[in-house]
Amino acid sequence: MTAVRQIFKRKPLAKSHPLTTLERAFVCEYIVSKNATAAAKLAGYKGPNPGQRGSTMAHRPHVMAAIKKEELRQNQKLTLNADRVLLEIMRLAFFDISRAYDADGNLLKVHDMPEDIRRAIIAIDVDEIFSGTGDNRTHTGNVHRVKFADKSKALEQLGRHLKLFGDQIAAAQFDITVRLDDALKRVADIRGADIVDVDYEDADTIAGDSADVSASDGT
């Protein structure tokens, strides 16, 4: 009995179909509008039945693949941007100010500071110190004033993102308003003056915007 061996040939892989100029423009417009008719018009199609033309292009395998690829790319880009913003908020919320100084309490040079600390700095002002007057005036050192980002604001933003507060924010704002009203009444009673009306619309922004830290060196 003769054995028969069947030989199966592997089908060649389909070659990628390049997009035409119109199809490439269609993909870009479809990503924005998600509407095949509008995408066909905006892509430059001038013929009749743009709806049918757009639907036909949208269902072409190589066009569909290009749309999915572009959607994936844009989603990854959006995720990256969102993650970066969240990372920056976390840096501002949790930076440790002690890392801006060396073991002896001297302010580090900016390039020697950890990246998280550098990103939390808003500004650095340097004032020169001199002694003597006239021709005897000499430079004796510098005072560095470092302004850091507001940790409380960053923590609030992070807490809102994590949904840690809920209705507690509104309750806290109401509590602050009541306490301020009571304080104003007590002051008015002591001074015998009329109570001044205060607008509490922005009561949740009472916290300061920044923290200042000064350090001097002997250079």
pLDDT tens digit sequence for 41-70: 898 988 888 899 999 999 999 999 999 888
Q: Going by C-beta distance under 8 Å and a sequence separation of 6 or more, which residues neighbour residue 30?
A: 36, 39, 54, 58, 67
What is the mean pLDDT of the segment spanning 68-77? 84
214 or 47, higher pLDDT: 47
Is 123 part of any domain?
yes
- Between 11-20, 74-83, 101-110, 152-161, the lowest mean confidence (pLDDT) is in 11-20
Which pLDDT belongs to residue 205?
37
How far is the C-alpha of 149 from the C-alpha of 147, rounded, in Å? Answer: 7
84 and 177 inside one domain: no
Domain boundary among 77, 92, 107: 92
**pLDDT, tens digit, 9 for 90 and up, residues 148-180:** 888 888 888 888 887 887 655 555 555 556 666
pLDDT tier for residue 141 given thresholds of 50, 70 and 90: confident
For the chain, the distance separating the N- and C-terminal CA atoms, rounded to the nearest angstrom, is 101
If asked whether residues 147 and 45 sit together in one domain, one would say no
Strand locations in 43-197 (E): 121-131, 138-149
Do both 43 and 103 map to the same domain?
no
Diameter over CA atoms, the chain:
121
pLDDT at 85: 84
Same domain, 107 and 209: yes
Asked if 147 and 210 count as a contact pair (C-beta separation under 8 A), the reply is: yes
Mean pLDDT of the chain: 75
For residue 122, give its domain range.
Answer: 95-217
Of 31, 24, 153, give the one whose Cα is nearest residue 93. 153
Q: Are 118 and 57 part of one and the same domain? A: no
112 band by pLDDT with thresholds 50, 70 and 90 = very high
Percent of the chain with pLDDT over 70: 68
For residue range 10-32, list pLDDT tens digits in order. Answer: 444 345 678 889 999 999 888 88
115 and 38 assigned to the same domain: no
